[in-house]
């Protein structure tokens, strides 16, 4: 009994120090030079506060996703470009946080920045908030392109996580530069095995993802 209790205790300690299921990695362990701006760890997001489950400023994805992103980064470097990642694996508790927030209709702190033309009561109906997310499976990634020389983000025509038609991949109201930037991102991601989401230019999921039916909930730490 004593030894079984010790084994149980050690398992809890290991989990609390950032262990996660087999098949997951920290992205920077595979792509060290990638830029990370983990928005849900900060208050710079549509909720306006740090989101449940984001306990550290580190980005976790499946091993297959990390390897594919390494190939993307290597090709972009030849063009003087690189990746900046906003989100990868997202625990279910974070998705639950979004759902609770969306139901509090008077909390519109970040509406001018992220959903100026959408009523908060319509976020569910229009598909911007849902009770499940592909991110929770570990192989979906939100990202953009940066200029490697300046580290500045390329102009994509809308901000990350902007709820509106301006974020649709095929949006027609873009300048030539914005349209070209989106096209570069789409082409290189699709080349290395990702599929896009038509309503979010930043959102990609690895084809043949290893956990297609599993919604994980371990914290990011």
Residues assigned a catalytic role: 200
d(CA 202, CA 85): 9
d(CA 17, CA 56): 11
- The token duo for 123 is 């976020």
Q: What is the DSSP letter of 213?
A: T
d(CA 123, CA 116): 12
Sequence-separated (6 or more) residues with CB below 8 Å from residue 11: none
CA 11 to chain centre: 28
Q: Where do the H-state alpha helices sit in the chain? A: 2-16, 63-77, 92-102, 111-114, 176-191
Sequence-separated (6 or more) residues with CB below 8 Å from residue 21: 216, 218
d(CA 70, CA 185): 14
């Amino acid at each position: 009994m004593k030894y079984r209790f010790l084994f149980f205790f050690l398992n809890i300690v290991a989990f609390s120090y950032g262990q996660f299921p087999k098949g997951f990695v920290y992205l920077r362990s595979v792509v060290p030079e990638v830029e990370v701006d983990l928005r849900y760890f900060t208050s710079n997001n549509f909720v306006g506060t740090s989101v449940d489950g984001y306990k550290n400023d580190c980005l976790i994805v499946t091993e297959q996703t990390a390897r594919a992103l390494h190939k993307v980064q290597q090709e972009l470097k030849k063009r003087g470009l690189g990746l900046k990642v906003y989100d990868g694996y997202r625990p279910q508790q974070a998705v639950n946080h979004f759902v609770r927030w969306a139901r509090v209709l008077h909390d519109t702190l970040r509406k001018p920045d992220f959903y100026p033309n959408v009523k908060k009561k319509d976020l569910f109906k229009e598909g911007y908030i849902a009770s499940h997310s592909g991110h929770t499976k570990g192989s979906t990634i939100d990202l953009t392109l940066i200029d490697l020389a300046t580290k500045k983000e390329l102009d994509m025509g809308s901000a990350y996580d902007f709820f509106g038609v301006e974020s649709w991949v095929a949006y027609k109201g873009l300048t030539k530069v914005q349209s070209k930037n989106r096209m570069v991102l789409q082409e290189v991601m699709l080349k290395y095995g990702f599929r896009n989401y038509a309503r979010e230019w930043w959102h990609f999921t690895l084809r043949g993802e290893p956990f297609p039916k599993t919604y994980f909930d371990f914290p990011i730490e």
